[in-house]
Amino acid sequence: MKELNIQYIAGLVLRARQNDSDAFAELYALTYSKVYNYARHYLRDDFLAQDAMQEVYILALKNLSKLNDPTLFIAWLNRISFNVCFDMSKKLKNSDAPTLEPEFLDNVEDEYPDSNPEELYRKKEEHRHLMEALEQLPFQEHQVIVMRYFNNMKLEDIADACDISRSSVKRYLAHGQETLRKKLKG
Amino acid sequence: MLFRKKKNYEMNIDTANTILQNVFAAESKAPNTIPFDKLILREKANTRFYDRGLILLLLVLLLTFISPLTIIPIVGISSTGFTADSAKLKDDYVEDGILYLQLEGINIQYEEAFLETTDGVKHPPVSFDKSKGIICFPYIDSMESNIYIPIADEQSLHLLLTPH
């Protein structure tokens, strides 16, 4: 992947902020391949990736004025891409769960012995702590951990999506896990 | 796996353009006036310099790596850059395990000349004939040798013997 000229991009961002559609279109032309590749790897579906990409650029256009440092546009866009894909993936997982009628639930025996309210509450708390700790990780580590463990992606796919080497993915994973372990213990 | 081809997903330009127009419509912004395909071409033109630079860099790297192979080993005698002006090597040959050097010049100190192998052992000349300008050394074909032939009031004539 070619490294993009940061200063040139910053200039386009400044123009796009002043409602210059051509500048935004050029930003899009420079970056859409990377965003699409990322979303396609993450969501594993062409149409979902296209939807995600559209969402990413709508958010980018809407919030462009909130970007303090225009030279950080690419990093900012990467974060938006990650958040959009993460949310879409989460929604998809939730929508996959079967929706049952309350009357039907009354007649079904509880197949999980630990699904009592206390246990559920404890698990929810654990999950909340984990998510808080994840949020505190550097972006790259946060991203690869979510992709690996929440999205079950292979190391190769993560490397291809993020345009980094496989060894970098392993490094981010190892460091992120170590930091999480320390945070959750303490 | 040392080298693995990256799996890159690509979107066609028409779909990308449709999405861009959807983005502008969603935010009630005016669409781009420069056609999208021209923007893509401009981006390709901007990165052409980068591509050429990359190819050039790879070529330089390749040349650097193969440069040791391009130096042909010098077989025989070669004189170094620190040679005396008043004496030079005219001819050299090996016969019956003896290296014959024919020199040309004045003030050559034949009796003080010596051959030094790379392990530091010094060998005096086997014989020399001042009138013919010939000096003989034992021919050592197992390693490189330096031959130093002093010239009066000047730097020594320094010869490097690389065995065949």
What CATH number should be reported for the domain holding residue B93?
2.60.40
Does residue B151 lie in a domain region? yes
Domain extent at residue B25: 13-70
Q: What is the pLDDT of residues B93-141, one digit of tens each?
A: 888 888 889 888 888 889 999 999 888 889 999 999 988 889 999 988 8
C-alpha to C-alpha distance for B133 and B161, rounded to whole angstroms: 18
Least confident of A91-100, A175-184, B111-120: A91-100
As for how many domains chain B has, the answer is 2
User: Does pLDDT of B44 surpass 60?
Assistant: yes
**pLDDT tier, A73 (very low <50, low <70, confident <90, very high otherwise):** very high
Q: What is the pLDDT of residues A17-37, one digit of tens each?
A: 999 999 999 999 999 999 999
Count the alpha carbons within 13 Å of B13 in the hemisphere toward its beta carbon.
10
| Cβ–Cβ below 8 Å for A160 and B29 | no
* Claim to verify: residue B82 and residue B58 sit in the same structural domain: no
* Claim to verify: residue B155 and residue B84 sit in the same structural domain: yes
User: Which among A68, A53, A57, A80 has a CA at the least distance from the CA of A143?
Assistant: A80
- Smallest CA–CA distance, residue B20 to chain A, in Å, is 7
pLDDT at A114: 56
* Claim to verify: residue B45 and residue B91 sit in the same structural domain: no
* Claim to verify: residue B101 and residue B59 sit in the same structural domain: no
* Claim to verify: residue B87 and residue B158 sit in the same structural domain: yes
Where do the domains of chain A lie, and which CATH numbers do they carry? 1-97 (1.10.1740.10), 101-186 (1.10.10.10)
Structure tokens at A94: 């939730």
C-alpha to C-alpha distance for A42 and A106, rounded to whole angstroms: 38
Spell out which chain B residues touch chain A, with contact meaning CB-CB distance below 8 angstroms. Answer: 4, 6-11, 15-16, 19-20, 22-24, 26-27, 29-34, 36, 39-40, 42-43, 46-47, 50
B38: chain A residues, CB-CB within 8 Å: none
Does residue B114 lie in a domain region? yes
Distances (CA, A) of A137 to A8, A61, A167, B28, B49: 30, 27, 19, 36, 37
* Claim to verify: residue B66 and residue B89 sit in the same structural domain: no
Q: In what order do the strands lie in the sheet with B145-149?
A: B76-79, B157-162, B145-149, B114-117, B122-123
ipTM: 0.75
**pTM tops 0.80, yes or no:** no
* Claim to verify: residue B80 and residue B152 sit in the same structural domain: yes
Is the minimum CB–CB distance between A155 and chain B shorter than 8 Å? no
Show which of B70, B96, B116 is a domain's final residue: B70
**Dihedral-angle region of residue B96 (phi above 0 means left; psi in -120 to 50 means alpha; beta otherwise):** left
Does residue B2 lie in a domain region? no
Overall size of chain B counted in residues: 164
Query: What end-to-end distance do the CA atoms of chain B give, in Å?
Result: 43
User: Does pLDDT of A91 surpass 50?
Assistant: yes
* Claim to verify: residue B87 and residue B127 sit in the same structural domain: yes
- Smallest CA–CA distance, residue B56 to chain A, in Å, is 15
Does residue B29 lie in a domain region? yes
Does residue B128 lie in a domain region? yes
Q: Which of A36, A41, A61 sits opposite B23 (nearest CB)?
A: A61
Does residue B87 lie in a domain region? yes
* Claim to verify: residue B154 and residue B101 sit in the same structural domain: yes
**pLDDT tier, B152 (very low <50, low <70, confident <90, very high otherwise):** confident
User: Does pLDDT of A97 surpass 70?
Assistant: no
pLDDT at A2: 52
* Claim to verify: residue B158 and residue B95 sit in the same structural domain: yes
User: Does pLDDT of A61 surpass 70?
Assistant: yes
pLDDT at A132: 87
Q: Measure the CA angle with vertex B99, ends B97 and B104; round to 5°.
A: 165
Distances (CA, A) of A120 to A107, A124, A149, B28: 21, 6, 21, 45
pLDDT at B93: 86
Is the minimum CB–CB distance between A28 and chain B shorter than 8 Å? yes
Least confident of A29-43, A95-109, A118-132: A95-109
pLDDT mean across residues, chain A: 85
pLDDT at B75: 42
